Amino acid sequence: MSSNTAPVTAGRRSYRKARLALAATATAAGLLLSGCTTVNAPAGGTNAGSSGGGTDYLPDEAVRKIVNGREVKVGFAPPILSEFYTQVEKAAHNRMKEYEDRFGVKWTWERQGALNDAHSGTETLGIVQGYIARQFDAVFVCSAANASTMQTLYKQGSDQGIDFYQFNSTEELANPSQAEDPTGGLATVSNIGYDDRWQSGYLAGKYIAEQLKGQGSIIQIMGPSGSDWTKLRQQGFKKAIAEYPGMTIVGEADGGYVRDKGLTAAQDLLTKFPDVKAIYGENEDMALGASQAIDARGLKHWDGQSGIITIGADGLVSGMDSIKAGKLTATVDVNSAEMGTEMIDALFAHEFLNQEVNQFIRIPTGVVDKSNVDWHQGVLQNVLNGPGKY
Amino acid sequence: MSTTAATAPKKNSLVDRVGARLLVDPTLGVLALLILICLVSAFTLPVFLEPSNLYNLLNTSLVVMILAMGMTVVLISGGIDLSIGTTMALCAGVAATSMKFGLPLFAALIAALATGALVGIGNGLLITRLGLPDFIATLAMLGFASGILYIWTKGVPIIGYMVPEFYVIGGLTPLLASLTLPMIIALLVALVLGGVLGSTRLGTYFFAVGSSKTGAMQSGIRVDRIRTQAYIVSGLSAAVAGIIMAGRNTNVPADLGNGYEIQAIAAAVIGGAALSGGRGRILGAILGAITLAATVNLINLVGVPSSYQKIVIGAILILAVLANRISAIVSGIVRQRRALVLEGIPA
Amino acid sequence: MNFQRTASRILSVNGVPIAIALVIVVIIFQIMSPVFLTPGSVRDYINNAIPILLLTVGVAIVIVAGGIDLSVGTVAGLSAGTTMWTLVNGAPTLVAVLTGVGTGLVFGLFNGLMITRFGINDFIVTLATLNIAGGLLIVLTEQVPLQGVTTPGFSDIVYGNVFGIPSAFWIAAIIFVLMQFFLVKTVFGRRIFAIGIAPSAANVAGVNVERVRLGTFVLSGVLAGAAGVLLASRLGSVQAFLGSGYEFIAIAGAVLGGVSLAGGRGSVWAAVAGGLMLATLQQGLRLNGVDPVYFSIVTGLCIVAGVVFDRRIQQLALSGIRKRRRTGSAPPPPDTSQEAHLLRTGKQD
């Protein structure tokens, strides 16, 4: 690990440690969970027992005994097939491989992604019903369907002993509270994700404002209106911009979360507002479309001093490449790697160790630009080259 | 149509003749609508008529335009091609993957074109040999093509094929000054297809088959072969559009072509093609594609809240076809009057 | 001999071949995955399928009259939205149901009037209303969150039980029986077939073609509205984009069942059997853990095979009937006008 990335890495790891400590899971298993992170090389070979306390106490063996070679059937239902969900799945697979090697967990993994209704979610309903009928042990769901509809389905499945975990979802929209109810009124074991408002939209707005020192106009390319993800990211982004009186959002257009529509929308808006300082693309594909529009108009990309800032959100390999090439200024990495890992950690803790996991597991997210792209890209590449395959 | 102009009295001035020609043109309505849009925006939204905007608009419309031209040929011959969008994506995928395998550029392009032609032949066989209705055969083909692309890419977009030439193909890097390659390609496709439809026997056959299958059969036309050829044309146009799209999009996701079939059909029909067959024009398809692109462009420029976009697009569709309808009625009246004039009865 | 004749007559009835294929597919899936026919699974998948089956029947009626309706999917979505919207505003269930069905009616009427009064092509008109209805649903969901309704009785529309059978089944069955009765036993229904086979001949025979066409689009709209009510009741919430894409499933289902896109041929049962076939395929593949990326290919293959199979069987059956006629054995009287048409032309499309 090169010296300049080490502090950042450490920061990321210490966050995890702090969070785990807060969650009071400093049991034997908790120790070994915190011992390996996605950021470091997989801890496959290290023995958490010996590094943990210097005693001859061997939690690995104890966990192995608990697991006892049991098999779990896991369903994975993403709302669409894409680079992002592939990264999440691969990270999960790598973690599963670790658990298999160390504790003898036997996994059956089945992915059924919706193809045609990323935004309405009714296809996901059918998929989840199928998992319930086939008595899977645990199901990971990310769906665009309304939260209340999904909760009814989860309740129905939970009554039959199936555990539901949501990931990358928009449960913050329903604003459930754990103040009096440990489940927050949700029928899931846990929700693994990030807050779209403050961990994605807000970050992007803040980054633009800070780079531009609070002065300038912005255009934004949004996802399809009607999508919950769009709604939330908008909320965060607009809040961040509102904190800077010198900044204004002059134009916005629908880019449908796809690149060629993003390109067209950015071209149109750049014609009308030729002297904008920044373009916010709500996902990376649209931001890359906007970047092409800048090239096509012969405008200058942001170089740290002048030019147009383009920022997206996702944290995909293709986005990282573009940041390195100077075509994309920045992106919000919503941390697919950590998401996949945390999903399996939560499942393992609940399913095998019988621990209580928090209803809301929030993974760290952050802005990637030229200064830290090597680290983020390295993490991603490690994930994609990882050994997990189910 | 041309007969009307030819039989018009000789004393008519050139202006009259051009006027007559325009009036009976099925694409007049959409042309009028486009001019109306331009006029209105000249006063309310000057940025719309700025050269750079019109240039963007034209560039944006090219992919749908090429698809719409292929679709027009199919519609003329009495069919419909719902697979054209996914075929475009499939061909884009073939071109991109061939490049990744290290094939030379021209080989990648030929592979893509061959894929398009094959899909066209497949459509033709499903329809003529198995006797499936066009709508269902091409809907099934849509399923096959998109399924293949999903299985092949596993949902992860194909990347890493963008050589500098592909930026030119996609129109991201202009060829000469501000002229882009897709513009030239679209023009070539228009000239070739317009030529085929207007002045070759094959073109006549397309119209004949679309107007009446039994009639065409009785006059010795090999209907099945002509219908298959129409689908090969649309498959090839999908391939051309796919190659451009691969360059323009700089990656090929599995859902690249979603919805393009509907846009292509809409553009063709706005341009005067009839879904019942036997009618359609290449110029109409071009105007139709520009109308669609102008709609989205105006929505973006005016700043229509994106939630209202679909409603506006639906309204424009109805308006465009209504405009054509009105022009057809007007031209009918004009023709009737001319006939009366010819018979010596004062109108 | 007698058996053969009966067999070919039964097979020549629209929808019978696909119904037989459906039974075979169900048996195969049950063998492959024992959970397939458990009550919970059947209930879920029929509940999921019913709204689309209603759309399939509506589209089938339009297709029989020689038209096409692409707007049914998003109109159903919007109807679900307006239903939910009235409930959110505290209206009783009956008002909500009427609102939903009324929304469908308005769109059906609009489609029909644009097509018949202005002579615009049905494909384009319904494509336009597809966009308009979809857009209106987006606007509606942005104004009001369409969820959290606790109106008594509303979720019972789908989840209630009557005589131990889920109420959605009853509703769908009643609608299908009514529609089939309407199509076969009423003058208007027979006219739908007549204008589908030959509009000009029907016109000469004194049928008001435009009015019948208008009627088919209104029917399709009303059925889409009913589908929307059932969707809202089943989901308990309504989301933007609900229903988009259903139109193609509905059309494919109708055609798979043997409804001819050329018009003049089809029945409610055929459309329902075709739609159920598509739903069954999806459910069966899902319960066998097949990755959905294969669905579109399998569905496409099935549609091709189904339509070809249906055509061949019917041709065989009809040629059987014809042969016996030539040889002089008692000719079975043609029971419907479609069959007579088929015998005359010898082909179906």
Q: What is the pLDDT of residue B329?
A: 79
DSSP state of A359: S
pLDDT tens digits along B212-259: 988 999 999 999 999 999 999 999 999 999 999 999 999 999 989 988
Residues with Cβ within 8 Å of residue A55, at least 6 apart in sequence: A49
Give the confidence band of A116 by pLDDT, cuts at 50, 70, 90: low
Chains near A with 3+ CB pairs less than 8 A apart are: B, C
Per the CB < 8 Å rule, is C120 touching B321? yes
Looking at the complex, does the CB of residue C48 fall below 8 Å from at least one CB of chain A?
Answer: yes
Extents of the domains making up chain C? 2-345
Q: For residue C163, count other CB atoms closer than 10 A to its CB.
A: 6
pLDDT tens digit sequence for A334-389: 999 999 999 999 999 999 999 999 999 999 999 999 999 999 999 999 999 999 99
Distance between CA atoms of A265 and B300, rounded to whole angstroms? 7
Domains and CATH numbers, chain A: 6-194+334-384 (3.40.50.2300), 197-333 (3.40.50.2300)
Residue of A nearest to B307 (CA): A225
Q: Which residue has the tokens 């397939």?
A: C36
Of A158-167, B66-75, C202-211, where does mean pLDDT reach its minimum? C202-211
Q: Which pLDDT belongs to residue C343?
A: 39
* Position A4 confidence tier, pLDDT thresholds 50, 70, 90: very low
| Rounded Cα–Cα distance for residues B214 and A202 (Å) | 65
C236 touches chain A (CB under 8 A): yes
C213-231 average pLDDT score: 96
Lowest mean pLDDT among A49-58, A257-266, B222-231, C90-99: A49-58
The reported pLDDT for the residue numbered A46 is 40
Q: pLDDT tens digits, residue range B290-305?
A: 999 998 999 899 888 8
The answer to whether the Cβ–Cβ distance between B307 and A226 falls below 8 Å is: yes
pLDDT tens digits, B300-342: 998 888 788 889 889 988 888 888 788 777 777 777 777 777 6
Enumerate the residues of chain C whose CB falls inside 8 A of the CB of residue A226: 137-138, 141-142, 239-241
- pLDDT grade for C160, boundaries at 50, 70 and 90: confident
Average pLDDT, chain C: 86
Does CATH place domain C2-345 in 1.10.3470?
Answer: yes
Nearest CA to A264 among A217, A221, A302? A221
pLDDT band for C296, please (50, 70, 90 cuts). confident
What CA–CA distance (Å, rounded) separates B140 from A23?
53
Average pLDDT over residues A259-277: 93
Q: Within A212-351, where are the H helices?
A: 228-242, 259-272, 284-296, 317-324, 336-351
For the cut 70, the answer to whether the pLDDT of residue C332 exceeds it is no
Q: What is the pLDDT of residue A51?
A: 42
Does residue B307 sit at the C interface (CB-CB below 8 Å)?
A: yes
Rounded to a whole number, what is the distance in angstroms from the first to the last CA of chain B? 21
On the CB side of B308, CA atoms within 13 Å amount to 11
pLDDT band at B23 (very low <50, low <70, confident <90, very high): low
Least confident among C43-47, C93-97, C232-236: C43-47
Whether B311 has its CB under 8 Å from any CB of chain C: the answer is yes
CATH of domain B29-342: 1.10.3470
Alpha-carbon gap, residue C312 to C321, rounded angstroms: 14
Is C257's pLDDT higher than 90? no
In this structure, are residues C50 and C172 in contact, taking their beta carbons and an 8 Å threshold?
yes
Q: Quick one: pLDDT at residue A39?
A: 36
- pLDDT tens, residue by residue, C115-130: 999 888 888 899 999 9
Q: Where are the beta strands (DSSP E) in C134-266?
A: 161-162, 165-166
Residue of C56, C62, C110, C121 to mutate, interface with B, max B Cβ within 10 Å: C121
Could you count the other beta carbons within 10 Å of the beta carbon of residue C335?
Answer: 11
**Do residues B286 and B65 make contact, with C-beta atoms less than 8 angstroms apart?**
yes
Please indicate if any CB of chain B lies within 8 Å of the CB of C237.
Answer: no
Give the nearest partner residue to B309 out of A254, A260, A263, using CB atoms.
A254
Q: Which chain A residues are Cβ-neighbours of C238 within 8 angstroms?
A: 146
Domains of chain B, residue spans:
29-342
- Do strands A366-368 and A278-281 pair parallel, antiparallel, or not at all (unpaired)? unpaired
Question: Among C274, C45, C53, C149, which residue's Cα sits nearest to residue A122?
Answer: C45
The CA distance from C214 to C208, in Å, is 10
Beta strands in chain A (DSSP E): 71-77, 106-111, 138-141, 163-167, 190-193, 216-222, 247-254, 278-281, 309-314, 330-333, 360-362, 366-368
User: Which runs of E-coded beta strand occur in chain C?
Assistant: 161-162, 165-166
Mean pLDDT of A254-272: 92
| Chain B: residue whose CA lies nearest to A296 | B172
Q: Do A269 and B300 touch (CB under 8 A)?
A: yes
pLDDT band at A31 (very low <50, low <70, confident <90, very high): very low
Distance between C288 CA and the closest CA of chain B, angstroms? 18
